């Protein structure tokens, strides 16, 4: 049976979530059950989204190439902050 008020802060609780059946307080974050995604895993186990150990390592890039990419991304970000009429058309779009 769903609770009407949060036992932690007495805020009015909504209906249980459809996907998990948990009740969560919108004010303080209290929940009646832990999230199942991580609750079933033992401590120290990597999350299910981690790549397997047999995956190929990413190719390494030189510091110069990384710096070049970062500078280009910063220029694009600053250009995107400008009004459309004042943006530099010579910068590549994302």
DSSP symbols for 34-51: --HHHHTSPTTPPPTTSP
Four-CA torsion 62, 63, 65, 67, nearest 10 degrees: 170
* pLDDT, tens digit (0-9, with 9 covering 90-100), for 12-63: 988 888 888 889 989 998 888 876 665 555 555 565 565 666 666 667 888 8
Each domain of the chain, given as residue ranges in start order, spans 1-38
**Threshold 0.75, pTM exceeds:** no
pLDDT at 68 over 90: yes
Is-contact 28 9, C-beta < 8 A? yes
Which pLDDT score, from 0 to 100, does residue 17 have? 86
Give bridge partners of residue 72 from the DSSP assignment. Answer: none
Closest CA to 21 of 7, 13, 33, 39: 33
């Amino acid at each position: 049976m769903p609770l009407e008020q949060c036992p932690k802060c007495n805020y009015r609780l909504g209906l249980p979530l459809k996907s998990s059946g948990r009740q969560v307080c919108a004010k303080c974050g209290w929940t009646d059950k832990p999230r199942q995604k991580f609750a079933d895993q033992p401590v120290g186990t990597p999350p299910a989204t981690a790549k397997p150990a047999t995956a190929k390592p990413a190719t390494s890039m030189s510091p110069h190439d990384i710096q070049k990419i970062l500078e280009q991304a910063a220029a694009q970000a600053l250009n995107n902050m400008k009004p459309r009429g004042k943006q530099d058309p010579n910068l590549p779009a994302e």
